[in-house]
Structure 1
């Protein structure tokens, strides 16, 4: 699966992530020029997990993104639909409650989480709107959502350079460091096809989230969207 599509087939995307699971975290660090760690810290601050809270970390992969919430004292559920990612995460962090789940049909009761978050995963879900509604369903009243996703740089000259990096530089770098470079060609194309910041905010509002806002990171390469369930 090497072409981005808005009609993504879940089994194909899951298989793609199964293939890259073992070297996923280190590959991301290389391809992002070390920015992933800064973005994770921004997500942790935005989620602001507190002791005793329940946090759902969707598209958690190997669980790296979940660890700051655990460190803050929250009961954290890392959830992903890639069994390869979950197996790799369980090897590294056997004490974490890794859970297999499809973002459009989450295996949780209504209103059980105080915060839900997804980093660099919403773009790969078969139906974005269904996923946002499901996250709304499993969030308790007063709970919050934080989405960290690749977006569109706000400065036009930088946007051009960034697009060139995605389509020209990223594939050869991925071939050097990744176990499945074709997956990263797909990821680059899916980033280009993804809605911009205001459009994603509208999707959140249409799914029932209120007080929707976003903040650009790294000049809009990544955007942090937030909302509240009232």
Structure 2
């Protein structure tokens, strides 16, 4: 799919999609290693916040290979994993052919208004070219009273740890990725995109501006990750 191995921070959709196509095979393994095992804990926190039940329709946006969708399916919900990386979707279909993996752009979702009881996106919104448009689209496809759960890297709350974390992102993370990833250059971009993402309060304001109500968040792993929740009016 061309020679693009990492995206730039202007997040052109084709660049980002190609980059994720290139890391699909080892993406979940790499995330477990780079997060020091925390990624699985974060996925469990998302599952608890979504609180999927039998009969619920859940949109898992930026689902990649579909790993994040499995807890919702296991809870009996009708989950739709959606991603714009065809490489990720192909890898997901190879692993779990029964999942209804769907190709879609977060800023122009291929779903009807009010189609879902809950929508969630984990570690993917910061890679969208226009995150605010994506927040509005997620609101459009969520029924009134439905909820959104956004899990995203954020800003550690303890200043000394924040310094150590930033050093890890920009120095150690690309080196570790070289050992375990199929495309370590992609993780340089990912580190940069994490550092450029707004802090917890600033992102909460953006959710409110997109039309979501009752916005709240809680920090995971000292603010390395923030779990934002809101409801559709």
Which TM-score applies when normalising by structure 1? Answer: 0.98
Aligned match of 1:221 in 205, 217, 224? 224
1:105 — aligned with what?
A: 108
CA contact 2:63–2:83 (8 Å) conserved in 1: yes
**Which consecutive aligned stretches of 4+ in structure 1 deviate over 3 angstroms post-superposition?**
1-4
Could you say what the CA RMSD is over the residues aligned between the two structures, in angstroms? 0.8
CA contact 1:3–1:189 (8 Å) conserved in 2: no
3-state SS, counterpart of residue 60 of structure 1: coil
2:183 — aligned with what?
A: 180
Q: CA deviation at 1:55?
A: 0.1
| Count of residue correspondences | 229
- State whether structure 2 residue 156 is matched by structure 1 residue 153: yes
Q: Point out where structure 1 has 5 or more consecutive residues left out of the alignment.
A: none
2:65 — aligned with what?
A: 62
Which TM-score applies when normalising by structure 2? Answer: 0.97
2:95 — aligned with what?
A: 92
1:207 — aligned with what?
A: 210
Residues of 1 paired with 2:174 and 2:142: CA distance? 38
1:165 — aligned with what?
A: 168
3-state SS, counterpart of residue 145 of structure 2: strand
Aligned match of 1:79 in 78, 82, 87? 82
User: Structure 1 residues 198, 4: CA separation in 2 closer, same or farther (over 3 Å shift)?
Assistant: farther
Residues of 2 paired with 1:4 and 1:35: CA distance? 26
